[in-house]
């Protein structure tokens, strides 16, 4: 089963079938991460192999043996330079990731590790480079590459990129611990803390704590993208047990105002927000055939995963989504770590949503990456009925 992971490490220490090198267009050893890869693989032997490839234009990919790296292949990709976003470099960077994924599939690889392409001497803003990396790989894994068994890993080494990812990871962990409602009211919260959260070392090998977290202004990177994480208590914050939650949800679902069909409610929101079918399919990652099935029947009830994905595609925040999901007879459970991550994503919509489509990350692909990073299954919306 394919998936995307984000880790904090030196890419030359990562074990994978393929290691991606952000290559100088000319057959030489460049600086930054490329120099580290050459040194770890064996400079002279890798340079000889690279010279046989010759010049690589932007977005071109080629491969060599990995030599002394813990890999079978090095996939060399010529990534674009940042030019204030005026030269199509964001699209080119997307093609670099997807072309490398295609090459890995062609080589029969089951795992591939990427550095954060173009974010070093090529000067791509770190937050934008990370957004493009996640979105490009997820798009491939759920599109052209959905039938191949491959795990892609983005390896963050640069301190700023690590802070961007670590700060968000830590905030979500804190949120889960603060908002979890046990199935059993007597459940030991310390046991929950130990079992639910990743205990892998972050960055320099230390466990994340408040002193290691970046300021909110560092979470995304650029000041125009920054938004303070919402501290508003969730709707269900006063619920003390799972049975209380179930009772509240049952009352919501029996409300006569909810008798409108899911299809009608969805189309009503689409009209109000000027969201087209193609926009909804893109941002929800729900297959057009599934959307057509919903639109052709007032009695059709989508799966929970599909209903959540559509709520995100409609750009609903958490309060709006709670009501919307009730039309499908669905609800997020405070006893599910996965559902709490979805809830965090919705409650903090302003962290991810931008009116500029190029910067908008309030979409299912982004959420799936976050779920995967926390060890949870992705929504799989495109395959859910």
* 142-159 per-position pLDDT tens digit: 888 878 889 999 998 755
Q: Which range (112-126, 254-268, 290-304, 305-319) has the least confidence?
A: 254-268
pLDDT at 212: 32
Better-predicted residue by pLDDT, 307 or 121: 307
CA distances from 62 to 54, 66, 144, 235 (A): 10, 12, 19, 52
pLDDT exceeds cutoff 80 at 356: no
Got the DSSP string for 85-128? Answer: T-SSHHHHHHHHHHHHHHHHHHTT-SEEEE--TTSSTT---HHH
250: left (phi over 0), alpha (psi -120 to 50) or beta: alpha
The CA-CA-CA angle for residues 196, 202, 203, to 5°, reads: 170
Average pLDDT over residues 57-76: 97
Q: How far apart are CA 46 and CA 37, in angstroms?
A: 9
pTM of full prediction above 0.85? no
Average pLDDT over residues 234-246: 49
pLDDT at 82: 92
CA distances from 69 to 14, 26, 49, 78, 164 (A): 8, 22, 14, 20, 28
Q: How far apart are CA 174 and CA 197, in angstroms?
A: 10
Element (H, E) at 43: helix 43-53
Mean pLDDT of the chain: 78
pLDDT category of residue 190 using cuts at 50, 70 and 90: very low
Structure tokens belonging to residue 259: 């008798």
CA distances from 199 to 151, 182, 205, 284 (A): 21, 21, 11, 31
Unique residue bearing structure tokens 């490398």: 100
* Cα dihedral 159, 162, 163, 164 in deg (nearest 10): 130
pLDDT at 248: 60
Average pLDDT over residues 33-59: 94
Helix (H/G/I), strand (E/B), else coil: 19: strand
pLDDT exceeds cutoff 60 at 340: yes
In contact, 187 and 39? CB cutoff 8 Å: no
pLDDT exceeds cutoff 50 at 199: no
pLDDT at 276: 92
pLDDT exceeds cutoff 60 at 230: no
pLDDT at 254: 59
Burial letters for 7-18: b for 16+ Cβ neighbours within 10 Å, e otherwise?
bbeebbebebbb
pLDDT at 133: 92
Average pLDDT over residues 330-340: 88
**Residues with Cβ < 8 Å from 99, sequence gap 6 or more?**
59, 60, 61, 77
Better-predicted residue by pLDDT, 178 or 59: 59
Average pLDDT over residues 237-260: 56
pLDDT exceeds cutoff 60 at 366: yes
- For the chain, list the domains and their CATH numbers: 3-157 (3.40.220.10), 163-383 (no CATH)
- According to DSSP, the residues that pair with 73 across neighbouring strands are 18, 65
pLDDT category of residue 162 using cuts at 50, 70 and 90: low
């Amino acid at each position: 089963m394919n998936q995307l992971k984000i880790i904090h490490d030196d890419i030359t220490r990562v074990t994978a079938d393929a290691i991606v090198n952000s290559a100088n267009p000319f057959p030489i050893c460049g600086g930054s991460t490329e120099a580290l890869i050459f040194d770890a693989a064996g400079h002279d032997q890798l340079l000889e192999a690279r010279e046989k490839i010759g010049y690589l234009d932007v977005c071109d990919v080629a491969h060599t043996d990995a030599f002394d790296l813990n890999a079978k292949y090095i996939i060399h990709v010529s990534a674009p330079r940042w030019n204030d976003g005026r030269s199509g470099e964001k699209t080119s960077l997307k093609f670099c990731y997807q072309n490398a994924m295609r090459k890995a599939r062609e080589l029969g690889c089951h795992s591939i590790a990427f550095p954060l392409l173009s974010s070093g001497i090529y000067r791509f803003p770190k937050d934008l480079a990370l957004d493009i990396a996640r979105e490009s790989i997820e798009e491939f894994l759920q599109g052209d590459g959905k039938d191949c068994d491959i795990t892609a890993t983005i390896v963050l080494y640069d301190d700023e990129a690590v802070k961007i990812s670590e700060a968000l990871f830590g905030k979500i962990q804190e949120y889960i611990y603060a908002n979890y409602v046990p199935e059993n009211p007597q459940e030991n919260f310390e046991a929950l803390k130990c079992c639910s959260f990743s205990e892998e070392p972050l960055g320099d090998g230390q466990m994340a704590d408040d002193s290691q977290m970046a300021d909110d202004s560092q979470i995304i990177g650029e000041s125009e993208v920054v938004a303070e994480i919402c501290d508003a208590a969730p709707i269900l914050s006063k619920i003390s047990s799972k049975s209380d939650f179930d009772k509240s949800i049952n009352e919501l679902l029996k409300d006569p105002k909810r008798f409108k069909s899911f299809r009608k409610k969805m189309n009503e929101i689409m009209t109000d927000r000027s969201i087209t079918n193609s926009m909804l399919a893109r941002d929800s990652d729900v297959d057009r055939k599934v959307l057509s099935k919903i639109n052709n029947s007032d009695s059709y009830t989508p799966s929970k995963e599909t209903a959540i994905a559509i709520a995100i595609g409609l750009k609903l925040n958490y309060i709006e989504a709670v009501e919307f999901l009730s039309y499908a007879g669905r609800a997020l459970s405070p006893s599910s770590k996965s559902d709490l991550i979805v809830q965090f994503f919705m409650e903090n919509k302003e962290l991810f949503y931008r009116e500029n489509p190029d910067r908008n990350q309030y979409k299912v692909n982004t959420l799936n990456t976050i779920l995967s990073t926390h060890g949870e299954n992705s929504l799989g919306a495109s395959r859910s009925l």
